[in-house]
Amino acid sequence: MKSLLKYIKDYKKESVLAPLFKMLEASFELMVPLVMASIIDRGIANADTAYIIKMGLILVLLAAVGLISAVTAQYFSAKAAVGFATKLRSALFSHIQNLSYTELDTIGTNTLITRMTSDVNQLQNGVNLTLRLLLRSPFIVFGAMIMAFTVDVKAALIFVVAIPLLSIVVFGIMIASMPLYKKVQAALDKILGRTRENLAGARVIRAFTNEESEIAEFEKENELLLNTQVFVGKISAAMNPVTYVIVNIALVVLLWTGAIRVDSGIITQGAVVALVNYMSQILVELVKMANLIIQLTKALACAKRVEAIFAITSSMSDGNLNTDAINSLNTGISNSKNDTSVINKKNAEKNAAIVFDHVCLTYSGGGDESLTDINFTVQKGETVGIIGGTGSGKTSVVNLIPRFYDATKGRVMIDGADVKDYKIAALREQIGIVPQKAVLFKGSIKDNLLWGNENATETDLEKALEISQAKEFVDTKEGRLDFMVAQGGKNLSGGQKQRLTIARAIVRNPQILILDDSASALDFATDAKLRQAIKSMKNDMSVIIVSQRASSIQYADKIIVMDDGAMAGIGTHEQLLAENEIYQEIYYSQFPKENEKNA
């Protein structure tokens, strides 16, 4: 929890003023029983109406000042708690964004969402209640006990016995419930994961009529969460009745002792009423403290979960080559002494845009290698196709170029320098990547395209739409570039989403364009037009096309055939069709008529 407190440092004033105003309110509250005792002993006993009215007005004044203090304290505590949660959530989101794919795969999306929402909300509530009650409640409890001693020492000894007993109950329940709240949050992670999975795959579930099975699984996990929450709720719920029993027993003893002492003339009736009021105040505050303890228990459990995310560091370290250094590498000239040695080492590969130098990749926790001895070169301006069966490692290969993952053996080089030597942001600025799953964000078409290059002009956007073959359907949309895309592009077809994601990558005007099976939803004619348009772009852009369609890559300058994480062949379409069995199998499965001709 200590490491998270730095996010409240901008709210020091509010964090100090909130408890102070609560203490002020508590001070006025402690005066009320004494005023009541005075009214009973002097006003009512002597039938002095003027005195009763006078002291009644003092009670009203105490109540008004207490109310103003309470509202002010609530304002400052709410401002500090919400501000703390905002900064913490922003810092957590920023930290998650800086984690590599390896960490994100290991932690899991559902866990991260729970930490950023439910856990941070619990922390916000914890901070709010802490600022309001952490000092006020103990102040009232011990203040009431001290004030009781000023009324009557012997009767006040009852408070000395009752308060430690109440403290044992409160803290004992807190210690018992804290680990259980951690289990509740972990169960909530599972529920969230199941919900995300079902909502994302709703069509698949319905297509296979698997609704009943998924509902049963969800109910099973939901029942587990319910049982855990009920169990910890029972433990926490025991706090109120136990404290009520102890306090009410103390009240009975207090009234009994007070009656005897009033009858003996040692104390007045007003003093007994004051003592009962102080005991009632203790009861109310201990109930508040019990709720505070429960909330703090939840908050501390959530704080550890949030701290655990902050404790995870990216396994991918940033390099030192920036955009200027990249440009120097491209031209063969360096203005930076630090980069000269790197550039000189790579002069032999001067025209190579991408070099895979005996690269291997093992995913975290994966055991066996996913990629083995990948070795090839992509020249500037060259188009390279990568083909292979499902799970052959095609996407794994291209994910190494923008450093979504790091090679476990060998090197991946861009413009003659190891990708690990680049600053990650500078490296990715040179790469336009269209992933397998077309992802669009809520906003206009223009907003989505500007993700590629926020400084792009209208001409740049129109050119990108034309090359990606998206112009034909964008022209039919109301408002064209101002047409609003729903979250995830749900108001567009699969082919439309793919073309917009390709346009977004082209807007960047990258040195390297990676199309990772990004035309799977396009018909053959549109796919051909797209490839022709990309090829006609007048620049040195290297293009890598990952596809399971032979037609999409057969006109590439060279084709890499992947099989079970290894290169099964490399060459032109004609060479592979003549010599490579795996390529032949893929090609003829898609063009059986040609196979019949050759036969």
Number of C-beta neighbours around residue 84 at 10 A: 27
| Phi, psi angles (nearest 5°) of residue 440 | -120, 155
To the nearest whole percent, how much of the chain has pLDDT over 70? 93
Q: Is the pLDDT of residue 345 over 70?
A: no
d(CA 76, CA 13): 9
DSSP state of 472: H
Long-range contact pairs involving 42-47 (C-beta distance under 8 Å, separation at least 24) = 45/269, 45/270
Is position 6 within any domain?
yes
pLDDT digits (tens, 9 = 90+) for 432-462: 888 888 888 888 888 888 888 888 888 888 8
462, 506 Cβ separation under 8 angstroms: no
Report pTM: 0.69
Roughly how many angstroms between the first and final C-alpha of the chain, as a whole number?
Answer: 73
pLDDT band at 337 (very low <50, low <70, confident <90, very high): very low
CA 501 to chain CA centroid, Å, is 25
pLDDT digits (tens, 9 = 90+) for 474-490: 888 888 888 888 887 78
Is position 86 within any domain?
yes
Q: Which residue has the tokens 């199309």?
A: 515
Is position 9 within any domain?
yes
300, 174 Cβ separation under 8 angstroms: no
Six-digit token string for 569: 């062949």
H/E stretch holding 468: none
Quick one: pLDDT at residue 323?
59
Quick one: pLDDT at residue 350?
56
359 beta partners: 374
pLDDT band at 523 (very low <50, low <70, confident <90, very high): confident
d(CA 292, CA 103): 35
d(CA 246, CA 121): 33
The whole-number average pLDDT for the span 412-428 is 85
235, 170 Cβ separation under 8 angstroms: no
Give the Å distances, CA to CA, from 365 to 105, 136, 316. 10, 50, 16
Quick one: pLDDT at residue 76?
92
Domain containing residue 166 = 2-311
Q: Please tell me the number of Cα atoms within 13 Å of 126 on its side-chain side.
A: 23
CA 114 to chain CA centroid, Å, is 7
Is position 424 within any domain?
no
416, 352 Cβ separation under 8 angstroms: yes
152, 271 Cβ separation under 8 angstroms: yes
pLDDT band at 333 (very low <50, low <70, confident <90, very high): very low
Q: Are strands 558-563 and 383-388 parallel, antiparallel or unpaired?
A: parallel
pLDDT band at 599 (very low <50, low <70, confident <90, very high): low
H/E stretch holding 377: strand 371-379
257, 155 Cβ separation under 8 angstroms: yes
d(CA 247, CA 282): 8
Instruction: To the nearest 10°, report the CA torsion of 211, 214, 215, 217.
Output: 160
Quick one: pLDDT at residue 346?
47
The whole-number average pLDDT for the span 420-434 is 85
d(CA 240, CA 237): 6
Quick one: pLDDT at residue 486?
84
Task: Count H helices and E strands in the chain, helices first.
Answer: 24, 12
The CATH number linked to 249 is 1.20.1560.10
Q: Please tell me the number of Cα atoms within 13 Å of 507 on its side-chain side.
A: 27
d(CA 92, CA 310): 7
pLDDT band at 598 (very low <50, low <70, confident <90, very high): low
pLDDT band at 336 (very low <50, low <70, confident <90, very high): very low
Is position 588 within any domain?
no
Tell me which of 64 and 453 has the higher pLDDT: 64
Is position 541 within any domain?
no
Is position 83 within any domain?
yes
Quick one: pLDDT at residue 597?
57
pLDDT digits (tens, 9 = 90+) for 141-153: 888 888 888 877 8
Six-digit token string for 483: 């047409």
Total domains present in the chain: 1
**CB-neighbour burial class of residue 426 (10 A; exposed 0-12, middle 13-18, buried 19+):** middle
Q: Please tell me the number of Cα atoms within 13 Å of 222 on its side-chain side.
A: 8
Is position 191 within any domain?
yes
Residues in contact with 205: Cβ distance below 8 Å, sequence separation at least 6, in sequence order: 198, 211, 214
Q: Which of 60-64, 281-285, 454-458, 565-569 has the lowest mean pLDDT?
A: 281-285
Q: Are strands 566-571 and 558-563 parallel, antiparallel or unpaired?
A: antiparallel
Which segments of 440-528 are extended strands (E)?
443-444, 484-485, 512-516
